[in-house]
Structure 1
Amino acid sequence: MASSSSSEGKNEEREPATSKLKKERLGWMEWLRGWFYLAYEMLFQRIMASHLQNPMPLPPLNDLTCIITGSTSGIGRETARQLAESGAHVVMAVRNTKAAHDQIKKWQDEWSGRGLPLNIEVMELDLLSLASVVRFSKTWNARSGPLHVLINNAGIFSIGEPQKFSKDGYEEHMQVNHLAPALLSVLLLPSLIRGSPSRIVNVNSIMHQVGFVDTEDMNVVSGKRKFTSLVGYSSSKLAQVMFSNVLHKKLPGEAGISVVCVSPGIVQTNVARDLPKIVQAAYRLIPYFIFTAEEGSRSSLFAATDPQIPEYCEMLKADEWPVSAFISQECRPTNPSEEAYNVETCFKVWEKTLELVGLPLDAVERLLQGEDITCKYGAHEKKI
Structure 2
Amino acid sequence: MATTTSSSSEEAPNTKKNKKERLGWIEWLRGWFYLVYEMLFQRIMASHLHNPMPLPPVNDLTCIVTGSTSGIGLEIARQLAQSGAHVVMAVRNTKAAQELIQKWQVDSEGLSIPLNVEVMQVDLLSLDSVTRFAEAWNARSAPLHVLINNAGIFSIGEPQKFSKDGYEQHLQVNHLAPALLSILLLPSLIRGSPSRIVNVNSIMHHVGFVDTEDMNVTSGKRKFSSLVGYSSSKLAEIMFSSILNKRLPAESGISVLCVSPGIVQTNVARDLPKLVQAAYHLIPYFIFSAQEGARSALFAATDPQVPEYCDMLKADEWPVCAFISQDCRPANPSEEAHNVQTSYEVWEKTLEMIGLPSDAVERLLDGEEVKSHYRQEQ
2:2 is the counterpart of 1:2: yes
- Per-residue CA deviations over 1:55-97 (Å, capped at 9, x if unaligned) read 0001221100000000000000000000001100000000000
C-alpha separation in 2, matches of 1:196 and 1:75: 25
Tell me the equivalent position of 1:44.
Answer: 41
- Tell me what 1:34 maps to: 31
**Structure 1: which 4+ aligned runs deviate by more than 4 Å?**
16-20
CA distance in 2, matches of 1:35, 1:67: 33
Q: What SS class does the counterpart of residue 265 from structure 2 fall into?
A: coil
> Which residue number in structure 2 is paired with residue 378 of structure 1?
375
Q: Pairwise CA RMSD of aligned residues? A: 1.2
Structure-1 residue corresponding to 2:10: 15
- Measure, in 2, the Cα distance between the counterparts of 1:18 and 1:69: 38
**Normalised TM-score (structure 2):** 0.98
Task: Provide, for residues 317-347 of structure 1, a one-character-per-residue CA deviation record: whole Å limited to 9, x for no partner.
Answer: 1133432100000000010000001010000
**Partner Cα distance (2:195, 2:211) in 1:** 31
* 1:226/1:148 CA distance change after superposition, 3 Å: same
Q: 1:168 to 1:19 in 2, by over 3 A?
A: closer
Supply the AA of the counterpart residue of 1:319. D
2:89 to 92, 95, 114: 92
Alignment-mate amino acid for residue 308 of structure 1: Q
CA distance in 2, matches of 1:146, 1:322: 29
- Any idea what SS the aligned residue of 1:272 has? helix
Amino acid at match of 2:9: R
- 2:119 counterpart SS class: strand
Calculate percent identity across the aligned residue pairs. Answer: 78
Task: Name which of 178, 188, 192 aligns with 2:189.
Answer: 192
Q: Distance in 1 between matches of 2:336 and 2:158?
A: 26
Q: CA deviation at 1:229?
A: 0.2
Matched residue, 1:354: 351
Q: Does 1:328 align with 2:328?
A: no
What is aligned with 2:158? 161
Q: Distance in 2 between matches of 1:289 and 1:335?
A: 22
**1:17/1:264 CA distance change after superposition, 3 Å:** farther
SS at match of 2:341: helix
Q: Distance in 2 between matches of 1:99 and 1:119?
A: 17
Question: Tell me, which stretches of 5 or more residues in structure 1 are unaligned?
Answer: none
Unmatched segments (≥5 aa) in structure 2: none
The aligned residue for residue 137 of structure 2 is 140
- Cα–Cα, structure 1 residues 19 and 375, in superposed 2: closer, same or farther, change >3 Å? closer
Secondary structure of 1:138's match?
helix
| 8 Å CA contact 1:17, 1:339 repeated in 2 | no
Mapping of residues 1-384 of structure 1, within 5 Å:
1-5=1-5, 9-10=6-7, 13-15=8-10, 21-379=18-376
Q: Is the 8 A contact 1:4 1:334 kept in 2?
A: yes
> How far apart are the structure 2 equivalents of 1:169 and 1:19?
28
TM-score relative to the length of structure 1? 0.96
Range moving further from structure 2, 168-177 or 316-325: 316-325
Q: How many residues align?
A: 376
Output the amino acid matched with 1:331. Answer: C
Query: For the residues of structure 2 that align with 1:59 and 1:303, how far apart are their CA atoms?
Result: 12
Alpha-carbon distance in 2 for matches of 1:319, 1:114: 43
Mean Cα deviation higher: 16-25 or 123-132:
16-25
